[in-house]
Structure 1
Amino acid sequence: MAAAKWSWERNHIAGRGSDTLPGAKWLFQPLRTGRGCVGVVGIIRDEPGPLLTPDQQRLLDALADQAALAVERVNLARDLHHARLQAETDRLRSALLTSISHDLRTPLASILGSATSLRSQAAVLDAPTKESLLGTIIEEADRLNRFIGNLLDMTRLESGALKPNTSLAELSDVIGAALRRATRILADHRVVVDLPPGLPLVSLDMVLFEQVLFNVLDNAAKHAPAGSVIAVTVRRDADTVTLSISDQGEGIPQADAERVFEKFYRAGGPDRRRPGTGLGLAICRGFVEAMGGTIRAGNRPDGKGAMITISLPVPVQAEMPDEDTMPAGPA
């Protein structure tokens, strides 16, 4: 192996029949590229005499060059992949730091300001003012709790620790739970639910799917003007149940329809961005896909507002029995 090591380190042919270590049994040919040696190929033959004819040597040189190019392409692809991963890591780190600095400091400042006022001016504040300050503390603390929950959910998704506990469930139950949970953030909007009767059961994790709906409702409430309608619509289409949540806000630019599901991405320019981490819809996609569904973003058919559409497959055993065809009980 001394000849192979010498060939690798010197980027020069070595071994049997060459100028270097000619007494070796093997002939080692370096695989050369513009960035140096990327490997060594060795050949051997039991018969005495010259190992290769001139034509065979030229063939070996050509094959070594082709092998070196192939290895170089693989190395370049790997380096490019690592560079992209590093760039994405740097981007996400920067986005996370920006998000944390803004989305932690803003509610904390409100909490501290309200708590300080209650403590220092309790004797002079009237009851409505005190109630307003307490409401601010609760609202901003809830916002902080959602922020930390989103970070934890994204950590679970990226670590592969998320395993949905799916079971057959009625969408009406999950929608009702999500709307009750979102009562405070939807207080300034009118919610319209269109849920036709006779929908089949769907296979989902009720806790995760409630979080999906809450995130989408929260997103709609942030971008829709006060007093506008947020609509929750469910439809059956063959073997799929589709749930859509639409608002009457500014809508989603076509170029951002897919990007809104990226971590820390928020559509629109800085002057149009609403408070938030940019994690809500990314978490929604991870949760929905883990349950075997799909989620997409777009705008309402009339173009006046955004619409998030979730599609879930209907399991074969999930058809809701019709009351007229249900088996009769014991007489």
Structure 2
Amino acid sequence: LPLRTGRTAIGVVGLDNDKQGPLLTPEQQRLLDALADQAAVAIERIQLVADVDRAKLAAETDRLRSALLTSISHDLKTPLAAIMGAAGTLRDFSAALPEPDRAELLSTVLDESERLNRFIANLLDMAKIESGAMEPNYAFHYVGDIVGSALQRARKIIGEHKIETDIPKDLPMLKVDPVLFEQALFNLLDNAAKYAPASSTIRMQGWTDNGSVLLQIMDEGPGIPPGDLERIFDTFYRVRKGDQIRAGTGLGLSICRGFVEAMGGTIMAANRTDGSGAVFTIKMPRPANPPNFDASNTDDHDVGDVA
């Protein structure tokens, strides 16, 4: 009995009868024909859904490949051009250059090398996340320690921005991978400094709520367009401003989400309600049995002053 749709035959149903006489009565034949037609339609729909899913996956793969090539071509070419230009000038004219000019060129080489290193590290981190090879090395840490380390690393990126912190010293310790958690905070600070005007304020605050520890980073930039909120953490996705796409790799926030979720937390993006700017909130589970350290000795886990 063929399984046919309006387009083609997609299968066959075989019947067997070990008794003598007709295999089916006319009424049974009509019923079986109707069931076969319905089964054929259902199978065809399943195949069509699978075809659509494969097409979407292929399109997304092409998009990511194109975005990766674009990102690599820009984010490798720009720092390499600066490094080669500064190094070439030092090689050809070092003896004739005043000391301040030589120092500035050397600083350019170092800064652009660090930028290149961050980009490559982001690519490697994203590869680990996408392959499922991310394995956090958990340990108990004070939130203030990790926040302070992230702020120190981000000093050059923060530049002229003012930093305000409100991280209570009595926040419970978190069981996290300190390297991954610090990198997530660093990427959020980098994002805030990139989008917020110079000399504006970036605020970090932390609190507890219903068994969770929350960390929030707020900036005074233009905020996130409503249409971008759902995709802000997608790999290689960058916010548009008018017809222009913002500079950057589109990896930083995606890595944030990958790291935070790998440690059992969540991250959310929103716009400020008290003015212009974006808000990113990390929510981590509060450990059930943290180590019994002396919480009154807070000198060793102070956030510090990085403004």
Provide TM-score, normalisation by structure 1: 0.85
- Separation (CA, whole Å) in 1 of partners of 2:12 and 2:103: 78
Question: 1:56-111 CA deviation, whole Å, 9 max, x = no partner?
Answer: 11111111101101111110110010011011111111111111111111111111
Distance verdict in 2 for CA 1:36–1:243, change over 3 Å: same
Letter matched to residue 264 of structure 1: F
Match of 1:205 among 177, 187, 201: 177
Q: Could you say which residue in structure 2 is the equivalent of 1:328? A: none
C-alpha deviation, 1:320, in angstroms:
6.4
Partner Cα distance (2:175, 2:187) in 1:
20
Residues 1:71 and 2:43 are matched in the alignment: yes
- CA shift, 1:322, in A, is 7.2
Structure 1 residues 235-254: Cα deviation after superposition (integer angstroms, max 9, x where no partner): 12231111011112211112
For 2:155, what is the secondary structure of its paired residue?
Answer: coil
Comparing both chains, which one has the higher relative contact order based on Cα–Cα distances under 8 Å and sequence gaps of 6 or more?
Answer: 2
Query: What one-letter code is carried by the residue in structure 1 that aligns with 2:222?
Result: E
What is the letter of the counterpart of residue 151 of structure 1?
L
Please state whether the residue corresponding to 1:185 is helix, strand or coil. helix
How far, CA to CA, are the matches of 1:279 and 1:233 in structure 2? 24
RMSD: 1.7
State the partner residue of 1:261: 233
Superposition deviation, residue 272 in structure 1 = 5.5
Give percent identity, aligned residues only.
57
Q: Which amino acid aligns with 1:32?
A: R
Counterpart position of 1:167: 139
Q: CA 1:107–1:321 in structure 2 vs 1: closer, same or farther (change >3 Å)?
A: closer
In structure 2, what is the equivalent of residue 3 of structure 1? Answer: none
Residues 82 and 108 in structure 2, CA contact (< 8 A), matched pair in contact too:
yes
Distance change >3 Å, CA 64–CA 272, structure 1 → 2? closer
Cα-to-partner distance string for 1:247-303 (whole Å, 9 max, x where unaligned): 122111122122110011111237664432101100110111111111011122312
Give TM-score, length-normalised by structure 2: 0.91
Unpaired runs of at least 5, structure 1: 1-28, 325-331
CA contact (8 A) 1:200 1:319 kept: no
Q: 2:209 aligns with which of 224, 234, 237?
A: 237
Name which one, 1 or 2, has greater alpha-carbon Rg. Answer: 1
Is the alpha carbon distance of 1:207 and 1:323 closer, same or farther for their aligned partners in structure 2, counting shifts above 3 Å?
A: closer
Instruction: Give the Cα separation in 1 of the matches to 2:24 and 2:85.
Output: 86
Structure 1 residues 240, 319: CA separation in 2 closer, same or farther (over 3 Å shift)?
Answer: farther
Q: Give the equivalent residue in structure 1 for 2:299.
A: none
Which residue in the other structure is 1:84 paired with?
56
2:197 counterpart of 1:225 = yes
Q: Match for residue 22 of structure 2? A: 50
Equivalent of residue 195 in structure 1, options 149, 162, 167: 167
2:234 touches 2:254 (CA, 8 Å); kept in 1? Answer: yes
Match of 2:302 in 1: none
Superposed, 1:103-142 pairs within 5 Å as 103-142=75-114
What are the superposed Cα offsets for residues 165-218 of structure 1, whole Å, 9 maximum, x if unpaired?
Answer: 222211111111111211221232222211113111112111110110111111
- Give the equivalent residue in structure 1 for 2:151: 179
2:277 is aligned with 1:301: no
Once the two structures are TM-superposed, the CA of residue 123 in structure 1 deviates from its matched residue by 2.1
Question: What do the CA deviations read for 1:140-179 (whole angstroms, capped 9, x no partner)?
Answer: 1111111111111111011111121222211111111111
Residue 152 of structure 1 aligns with which residue? 124
Query: How far 1:35 sits from its partner (Å)?
Result: 3.1
Supply the distance in 2 between the matched residues of 1:142 and 1:130 (Cα, whole angstroms).
Answer: 18
8 Å CA contact 1:103–1:275 kept in 2: the answer is no
Question: SS of the counterpart of 1:123?
Answer: helix
Structure-1 residue corresponding to 2:304 = none
- Aligned partner of residue 225 in structure 1, secondary structure: coil
**Which is further off, 43-52 or 276-285?**
43-52
Aligned residue-pair number: 296
Unaligned regions of 5+ residues in structure 2, if any? 297-307
CA contact (8 A) 1:241 1:312 kept: yes
- The 8 Å contact of residues 165 and 203 in structure 2, kept in 1 or not, is answered as yes
SS in 1 for 2:10: strand
Q: Partners of 1:320 and 1:199 in 2: how far apart?
A: 13
Aligned partners of 2:214 and 2:281 also within 8 Å: yes
Tell me: CA distance 1:58–1:273, structure 2 relative to 1, closer, same or farther (3 Å).
closer
